[in-house]
Structure 1
Amino acid sequence: MATDPARRPPTIDPTAAARWSRLAPADGSPWLHEEIGRRMEDRLQWIKAQPRTWADWAPLRGGLEAHELVARRYREAACFVIEPDADLAAAAGEALAAPWWSARRWQGGKARFDAPPEDGVDLLWANMSLHMAADPEALIARWHRLVATDGFLMFSCLGPDTVRELRALHARLGWPAAGHEYTDMHDWGDMLVHAGFAEPVMDMERIVLTWATPEAALAELRTLGRNLHPARFPALRGKAWHRALKHALPELAPAQEGGGRIALTFEVIYGHAFKPAPRVALSAESAVSLREMRSMLQRGRPGA
């Protein structure tokens, strides 16, 4: 059941979220993001619409390999890349530029970094970014503006059960929260409808990652995000705390399975929704944008 909008997650420090959004991945897109992107791309086979234009939101962290999968599926579609932070746009352009000898150059349309069409794109692809947004409703509203009428949004993000084992460990040891809270998929559906999307379809799965050592677990977790909770540790933690954390992490190995490997659960939410034709409320005076007026006129033409 959806929660009260005033009390629903996320619990995110906006300053910390902005700092994270400007940080370029050190070693390419995280493995988990690429795997989730691969699974999300596979879901496109069930959508009959064939976009003529599409845009990838923040692919540098969302998944460069996943970007290539979508580009190959829609070879004839014009592709736009949108990196919300201008400092990351150049890095994304360099990462997506295929060398002259690469087969990738012929497997899909070349990514463009100029502004998407004024009327929007037929598909907006947003992999693994929504759960790190301090104001997700504002972000969804921005996505709505980027999608063309009758186009659709395809996105993924992490859900409330993510790293539940680590959260329980922090609580048991009396430490601040291990991470900010994540939003339930039913609340995402409500936000999509509130922004103007229609027919949202949400589904969820849980993925368990395992590591042989605390060092390996912490190294991968650092690539996936940061703790953006306002009540997180207020200052840098010392070596003693770090040793205590590494000593405690092996407790997260399942007793009966997993071979003694540290295990953490990730709840992954997938969603897509269509953008219907704009409606104008009946009143003595009604104001619509030029874009909305053009869309309504085009839909009213015979054969349009």
Structure 2
Amino acid sequence: MPKTQFQVDQNAVKKALHAAARTYDNVGMVPKAIADRLLERLDFIRLNPLCVVDVGARTGYATQQLEERYREAIVVGLDFSVAILKAASSKMMVGEYTALPFADRSVDLIFSNLAFQWSSDLQQTLQECHRVLKPGGLLLFSTVGPDTLKELHSSFADGHRHVHPFYDMHDIGDMLTQLRFTDPVMDTERLIVHYSSVPQLIKDLKQLGAQNASQDRLKGLMGKTQWRQMLTNYENCREENGALPATVEVIYGHAFGTESNSFKNANGEEVTVPIDKIIRRN
């Protein structure tokens, strides 16, 4: 299990995405840029998938790119927000990340861009990905790390959680290893997005549906004094060019489905048997 576990209010996530359905594409430049970076990684992986699933498809930008890339494959976009999927033009399904609506070992490629941070149980979500991946199938994803919005987080001085919590790259890598994915690889980069004001940053986050959905977040409206103090503190981050920075720590990861099945011997010890050694008896 990861060293840190976060409780995500799934109803709050769905509510935020529902409200952002009409505005997501207007402010989705950063998610699209990260999706493009993630898609470029497929150029270096030999893969001829028959079934592709885009988990957390949102309005379908990456889903369309995957359709163009793999014209012979069935490509399905999946998200848990009905409202945001209505803005998409590709083939879409409504489903939970923690209970993927696909058969065991039925998917060749699971692609997921900036979605796993909104899962109510990331370990369970990754376990579901492992379940539905074919042996040798690819999981390719991006999410965001704990340095994301660090300027906003540090500007609050009341001890409450105002920024959604994010898993560390190493914790996610440990989960992949524990779930017996093959050859997991993780890396990270930091993007700096510049804003003229904090209210503009908050507005963009709201229009993306990217709001604090942790179970231990402070409920209710923020007081005027608290808000003004946060604005004053954030001003200390203003750069020489007059812009306010907002850090996005992007985590990229990929791993492959297990090539072998696991069994237990007479002593209760776990053993592995390669798939090609399992013979069906008539």
Scaled by the length of structure 2, what TM-score is found?
Answer: 0.82
Q: Is 1:249 aligned to 2:242, yes or no?
A: no
Alignment of 1:98-247 (within 5 A): 111=91, 113=93, 116=102, 119-170=105-156, 173-222=157-206, 223=208, 225-247=210-232
Question: Does structure 2 conserve the Cα–Cα contact (< 8 Å) formed by 1:160 and 1:183?
Answer: yes
Q: Which residue of 2 aligns with 1:9?
A: 4
Runs of at least 5 residues in structure 2 that lack an aligned partner in the other structure: 95-100
Q: Which residue of 2 aligns with 1:96?
A: 88
Describe the SS at the equivalent of 1:56: strand
Q: Counterpart amino acid of 2:48?
A: Q
Q: For 1:60-101, what per-residue CA distance to the aligned partner results, in whole angstroms no more than 9, with x for missing partners? A: 1xx622222222111221112222x3xx34651x3232xxxx
Question: Does structure 2 conserve the Cα–Cα contact (< 8 Å) formed by 1:11 and 1:180?
Answer: no
Q: Which residue of 2 aligns with 1:74?
A: 70
Deviation at 1:264, TM superposition (A): 1.4
Q: Counterpart amino acid of 1:65?
A: Y
CA distance in 2, matches of 1:186, 1:118: 27
Question: Does structure 1 conserve the Cα–Cα contact (< 8 Å) formed by 2:184 and 2:253?
Answer: yes
RMSD: 2.9
Scaled by the length of structure 1, what TM-score is found?
Answer: 0.76
Describe the SS at the equivalent of 1:281: strand
Question: Does structure 2 conserve the Cα–Cα contact (< 8 Å) formed by 1:52 and 1:77?
Answer: yes
Q: For 1:205-232, what per-residue CA distance to the aligned partner results, in whole angstroms no more than 9, with x for missing partners? A: 0000111122211111222522234443
CA distance in 1, matches of 2:163, 2:186: 23
Q: Is 1:31 aligned to 2:17, yes or no?
A: no
CA distance in 2, matches of 1:188, 1:91: 27
Alignment of 1:43-62 (within 5 A): 43-60=41-58
Question: Does structure 1 conserve the Cα–Cα contact (< 8 Å) formed by 2:109 and 2:140?
Answer: yes
Describe the SS at the equivalent of 2:275: helix
CA distance in 1, matches of 2:93, 2:278: 29
Q: For 1:103-122, what per-residue CA distance to the aligned partner results, in whole angstroms no more than 9, with x for missing partners? A: xxxxxxx5254954554110
Question: Does structure 2 conserve the Cα–Cα contact (< 8 Å) formed by 1:251 and 1:262?
Answer: no
Change (3 A) 1:252 1:300: farther
Runs of at least 5 residues in structure 1 that lack an aligned partner in the other structure: 98-109, 287-292
What is the identity percentage for the equivalent residue pairs of Structure 1 and Structure 2? 27
Name whichever structure is richer in helix by fraction.
Answer: 1
CA distance in 2, matches of 1:165, 1:214: 10
Q: Counterpart amino acid of 2:87?
A: A
Change (3 A) 1:146 1:279: closer
Deviation at 1:263, TM superposition (A): 0.5
Question: Does structure 1 conserve the Cα–Cα contact (< 8 Å) formed by 2:191 and 2:247?
Answer: yes
Change (3 A) 1:32 1:224: farther
Q: Which residue of 2 aligns with 1:65?
A: 61
Q: Counterpart amino acid of 1:156?
A: S
Describe the SS at the equivalent of 2:38: helix
CA distance in 2, matches of 1:248, 1:190: 35
Question: Does structure 2 conserve the Cα–Cα contact (< 8 Å) formed by 1:34 and 1:64?
Answer: no
CA distance in 2, matches of 1:124, 1:21: 22
Deviation at 1:193, TM superposition (A): 1.9
Aligned residue pair count: 265
Deviation at 1:156, TM superposition (A): 0.6
